[in-house]
Chains A and B, each alone.
Chain A
């Protein structure tokens, strides 16, 4: 693929801590906690109801199809839209494509676009160090500390009282009125993520039970399962797996999570080359979001798709090997 080359900032020192970048305010804390409780409990209850209905209604192609279809759509919105486009600007698209991606990413139900981008950029600025919103490595190195660190990185951090200042991390997105509006309409997109599969299920079945199946499997079960994949990125992807690039953080590559995370579990590759649109850097590194960007590019919808050159990748690997042998 002929693409823009990028430099690897993998080994740059982390930026100085800006006290304005994170703050607490009672109103935001309360809203964040209500959101965290809702997005963890409601899809879980929906999943239990869906599973209880399996012996009654069975588990057929409608359930599986709506689940997979909505999973692919919202994972694309999250990984292609929120992550690689808005957070890292690793390629460019027109306003219509961007809007569709942001709506699909909002249906993923992990917060409005600007909040997600701000928190993710903060993660990159301070990965596995003071200021990282969700590192598993910032608790004491005792057994209890490690367990608490894991819980914090998996899901606990979303219940925290801190707010990431979007004016510190997302000035570019705040200056884009369309993105600000799309973020403000977040809860409508979340509802759309449940109403859409319900409508499709109802139409296919021609009966209200189809709409219930759609809302359950394309909505609640899909949100519940996709969230576990997202939580694995903030926890497993900084704990287990290979580290071909000796980045200054503890990010890892985890093959087993590549498909559920839509390619983001090539997390060590990502921290080595954060502005790369492709997280799978070898042919066998399955990267669904990268393939979607490839298709968008072929359709003429994505431009300036960034990817490190093979020479740059080889240079970073050689450098990592030197660092490893120097340490051993």
Chain B
């Protein structure tokens, strides 16, 4: 798998994988108007109603929250909430 460049910016927030998971779950629940309890973190994004446009919106949201640039292909290379959050989260 290709490495993905992430450029940290000053003042970037570090969040754990679990916190990032919650962020993504809440984003999907709010935007698709679904119950967050029903969102599984180990299924692929398309099963959660995330198409290519929503995937980019999630990446944009994470860029804002984490204060750093994220390659939009991250959602393809790490296609579940769990794997994406682990990839982006700080080690706990």
Binding site for B on A (CB under 8 A): 23, 25, 27-28, 31, 112, 114-115, 118, 163-167, 171, 174-175, 177, 180-181, 183-184
The interface residues of chain A lying within 8 Å CB-to-CB of B67 are none
Q: Considering the chains assembled together, what is the distance between the CA atoms of A30 and B22 in angstroms?
A: 30
Q: Report B42 CB to chain A, min CB distance, Å.
A: 16
Q: Considering the chains assembled together, what is the distance between the CA atoms of A165 and B49 in angstroms?
A: 13
Q: Considering the chains assembled together, what is the distance between the CA atoms of A243 and B69 in angstroms?
A: 50
Taken residue by residue from 39 to 83, chain B's Cβ proximity to chain A (1 for < 8 Å, 0 otherwise) reads as 000000011011111101100100000000000110000000000
Binding site for A on B (CB under 8 A): 31-34, 46-47, 49-54, 56-57, 60, 72-73
Asked whether A174 lies within 8 Å of B54 as measured between CB atoms, the reply is yes
Task: Given the known inter-chain contacts A114-B51, A177-B47, A180-B49, please indicate yes or no for A165 contacting B32, CB distance below 8 A.
Answer: no
Partner of B46, one of A31, A163, A165, A181: A181
Q: Report B25 CB to chain A, min CB distance, Å.
A: 14
Asked whether B32 lies within 8 Å of A167 as measured between CB atoms, the reply is yes
Q: Report B80 CB to chain A, min CB distance, Å.
A: 15
The interface residues of chain B lying within 8 Å CB-to-CB of A164 are 53
The interface residues of chain B lying within 8 Å CB-to-CB of A25 are 56, 60, 72
The interface residues of chain A lying within 8 Å CB-to-CB of B32 are 167, 171, 174-175
Q: Considering the chains assembled together, what is the distance between the CA atoms of A252 and B46 in angstroms?
A: 38
A-B contact pairs, 21 of them (CB 8 A): A25-B72, A27-B56, A27-B72, A28-B53, A28-B56, A114-B53, A115-B51, A163-B53, A164-B53, A165-B53, A171-B31, A171-B33, A174-B49, A174-B51, A177-B46, A177-B47, A177-B49, A180-B46, A183-B51, A184-B46, A184-B51
Q: Report B13 CB to chain A, min CB distance, Å.
A: 21
Q: Considering the chains assembled together, what is the distance between the CA atoms of A246 and B51 in angstroms?
A: 37
Asked whether B56 lies within 8 Å of A167 as measured between CB atoms, the reply is no
The interface residues of chain A lying within 8 Å CB-to-CB of B47 are 177, 180
- B46 nearest CB neighbor, chain A only: A180
In addition to A114-B53, A118-B53, A175-B32, 11 A-B residue pairs with Cβ atoms within 8 Å of each other are: A25-B72, A28-B52, A31-B52, A164-B53, A165-B53, A166-B51, A167-B31, A167-B32, A167-B57, A174-B49, A184-B51
Q: Considering the chains assembled together, what is the distance between the CA atoms of A165 and B47 in angstroms?
A: 18
The interface residues of chain A lying within 8 Å CB-to-CB of B53 are 28, 114-115, 118, 163-167
Q: Considering the chains assembled together, what is the distance between the CA atoms of A174 and B56 in angstroms?
A: 15
Q: Considering the chains assembled together, what is the distance between the CA atoms of A28 and B75 in angstroms?
A: 14
Q: Which of A164, A174, A184 has the most CB of B within 10 A?
A: A174
- A184 nearest CB neighbor, chain B only: B46
Q: Considering the chains assembled together, what is the distance between the CA atoms of A174 and B46 in angstroms?
A: 8
Task: Given the known inter-chain contacts A27-B72, A174-B32, please indicate yes or no for A180 contacting B51, CB distance below 8 A.
Answer: yes
Asked whether B33 lies within 8 Å of A165 as measured between CB atoms, the reply is no
Q: Considering the chains assembled together, what is the distance between the CA atoms of A163 and B57 in angstroms?
A: 11
Q: Report B72 CB to chain A, min CB distance, Å.
A: 4
Q: Report B34 CB to chain A, min CB distance, Å.
A: 7
Q: Report B56 CB to chain A, min CB distance, Å.
A: 5
Q: Considering the chains assembled together, what is the distance between the CA atoms of A166 and B31 in angstroms?
A: 10
Q: Report B31 CB to chain A, min CB distance, Å.
A: 4
The interface residues of chain B lying within 8 Å CB-to-CB of A23 are 57, 60
